[in-house]
Amino acid sequence: MRGSFFGIGAQLKEDDGKIKIAVLISGGPAWKSGELKAEDEIIKIGQGNAEPVDVTGYSTTDAVKLIRGAQKGSEVRLTVRRIDGSVKVISLIRDEIKLDDTFAKSAIINGDHKVGYIYLPEFYIDFEDPNGAKCSEDVAKEIQKLKAENVEGIIIDLRGNGGGSLPEVVKMAGLFIEDGPICVVKGREDKPYQWKDKDKSVLYSGPLTVMVDEFSASASEIFAAAIQDYKRGIIIGSSSTYGKGTVQRTIPLNPESDNPVFSNKTSEDLGYVKLTLQK
């Protein structure tokens, strides 16, 4: 949901039981080094000066865990076999990798009418950084750009958008309506709670269309439904969206970081439980 992670910026694949480099992310440490190439086979993975781990027979998921790590600036050493059979040890320093494909983008469609187009792959937010990326703010910036170009209408493309942050979708809907409820949630023993847009300002009041398909889910459906219920825009696309009406919270399984026994960030990431709390 943050749209970024710490690592070397390489996508792995499994090929006949071997772990190989599939794609290098432009601008990432692996790409900048110029030493790692697509189709290189990863034989061993080492953390700094520590003894490298032979990853023969490993799944790509487990290999990714070893490569990605948790800290910016830490070193990972990859022993790789080239296509020509030569073996080389490549040292890389982990950095933050931004997944540009995650973030909102806009374009202008010129035809009989000048129309603005905004593509939003997911409702993202960085929960750990108050100054991090937020989809509502990014969409607002794209709208400002399109308004400066005097577009006659805006299309928001939520096709394939599986959802994301509930507070962000409420803020984003608020860019197009004055104020009011966006959706209602209810826990097992809670009273129904209204998520409301409380900001009376409207960033864009012109013609609006929202595109959806059968993979538009969760926050995408909340946004499209609010725009439709307020008669603020026209929803086009599939006859039915995904149909997800539940709210989840991700809870980390790692021991509390304030416990000195578990304060070592290089320890294995135990992942998260995604728990359904509301409908």
CATH code at 192?
Answer: 3.90.226.10
What is the mean pLDDT of the segment spanning 7-17? Answer: 91
For helices 135-148 and 166-173, angle between their N-to-C axes, nearest 10 degrees: 20
Q: Which long-range contacts (CB under 8 A, 24 or more apart) does 54-60 make?
A: 55/19, 57/17, 58/19, 59/14, 60/12, 60/13, 60/14, 60/19
In terms of domains, do 81 and 20 share one? yes
Q: Tokens in use for 103?
A: 């973030």
Give the residue numbers annotated as catalytic, written as ranges. 218, 229, 244
Residue 106 belongs to some domain of the structure: no
76 pLDDT more than 50: yes
Q: Count the neighbouring beta carbons within 10 Å of the beta carbon of residue 109.
A: 12
Which residues sit opposite 187 in a β-bridge? 278
Residue 107 belongs to some domain of the structure: no
What is the mean pLDDT of the segment spanning 15-26? Answer: 91
Q: Tokens in use for 260?
A: 């000195």
pLDDT digits (tens, 9 = 90+) for 234-244: 999 999 999 99
In terms of domains, do 128 and 86 share one? no
Residue 97: pLDDT band (50, 70, 90) is confident
What is the mean pLDDT of the segment spanning 50-59? Answer: 92
Q: Count the neighbouring beta carbons within 10 Å of the beta carbon of residue 183.
A: 21
262 pLDDT more than 50: no
Provide, rounded to the nearest whole percent, the portion of the chain with pLDDT above 70: 94
205 pLDDT more than 90: yes
Query: Which helix (H) or strand (E) covers residue 47, if one does?
Result: strand 41-47
267 pLDDT more than 60: no
In terms of domains, do 178 and 217 share one? yes
What is the mean pLDDT of the segment spanning 58-80? Answer: 87
Residue 58: CATH number of its domain:
2.30.42.10
Residue 266 belongs to some domain of the structure: yes
In terms of domains, do 264 and 212 share one? no
Residue 261 belongs to some domain of the structure: yes
The reported pLDDT for the residue numbered 250 is 85
The reported pLDDT for the residue numbered 263 is 46
In terms of domains, do 224 and 158 share one? yes
Give the total number of structural domains in the chain: 3
In terms of domains, do 124 and 237 share one? yes
Provide, rounded to the nearest whole percent, the portion of the chain with pLDDT above 90: 74
In terms of domains, do 85 and 132 share one? no
The reported pLDDT for the residue numbered 182 is 98
What is the mean pLDDT of the segment spanning 83-100? Answer: 91
In terms of domains, do 180 and 224 share one? yes
Of the two residues 17 and 276, the one the predictor is more confident about is 276
The reported pLDDT for the residue numbered 145 is 98
110 pLDDT more than 90: yes
91 pLDDT more than 90: yes
Residue 216 belongs to some domain of the structure: yes
191 pLDDT more than 90: yes
What is the mean pLDDT of the segment spanning 70-86? Answer: 90
Residue 268: pLDDT band (50, 70, 90) is low
pLDDT digits (tens, 9 = 90+) for 114-141: 999 999 999 999 887 888 899 999 999 9
Which of 35-44, 46-55, 269-278 bottoms out in mean pLDDT, i.e. has the lowest?
Answer: 269-278
pLDDT, averaged across the chain: 91
Residue 109 belongs to some domain of the structure: no
The reported pLDDT for the residue numbered 193 is 96
Residues in the chain: 279
In terms of domains, do 66 and 50 share one? yes
In terms of domains, do 172 and 271 share one? no
In terms of domains, do 167 and 231 share one? yes
**What residues make up the domain containing 265?**
248-278
